Amino acid sequence: MKKLYGFMFAAAAAFALTVSSASAQTPAPTESAADLREIEYGKDIFKTKANCQFCHKWDGSGDQGYGGNALPLRTTELTLEQFVETVKCGRIGTGMPYHDRFAYNDKRCYDTTREELGNDTPPIANEYLQPREIAAVAKYVFARQKGRGVKGSYEDCLDFWGKESKQCEQFK
């Protein structure tokens, strides 16, 4: 019996060592202070200047907006680069506006111009965004919305609206 307990203890210790070694080799990704500042900056642009929440909702789950159905950002399959291009250039033939002041003046967006697109040109956003602002919005969406389920959680709500907001009570 003593040998059995000794074997079980040795096996458990070896398993624990293996698990802790594996964990040590692949640490959980952490966001640096600079990343966190950029994510917060992107959230602010998303909320206020670009007003993305008007169509995509605060949690990025998508909604009916002024231009039709806004796609859910939480389940987007776009890469970061494609997402940046979509914010910059909008979506042709849809209500997704473009945020680059010079989009469709030259061929920077989808290799086409306003003249070539005619009525399919995306609408102009209420506010133009600088490249850093577009990148920050993308970073925020990819850090806090994309791949985090279909709908926002209580924690997501607190992160977006703040701990003092009564907006999040419904998620408790």
Q: Enumerate domains of the chain plus CATH numbers.
A: 33-171 (1.10.760)
Tell me the pLDDT band of 165, cut-offs 50, 70 and 90.
Answer: confident
Mean pLDDT computed over 60-89: 89
| pLDDT recorded at residue 107 | 95
Task: Please return the burial class of 53, using the count of CB atoms within 10 Å of its CB with bins 0-12, 13-18 and 19+.
Answer: middle
pLDDT tens readout for residues 21-64: 333 444 445 789 999 999 999 999 999 999 999 899 999 999 87
Identify the residue with better confidence: 2 or 94: 94
Beta partners for residue 68, in sequence order: 65
Q: From CA 105, how far away is CA 128, in angstroms rounded? A: 14
Residue 69 has pLDDT above 50, yes or no: yes
Phi, psi of 164 (to 5 degrees): -85, -5
Per-residue confidence band for 16, with pLDDT thresholds at 50, 70 and 90:
very low
- pLDDT of 133 reads 98
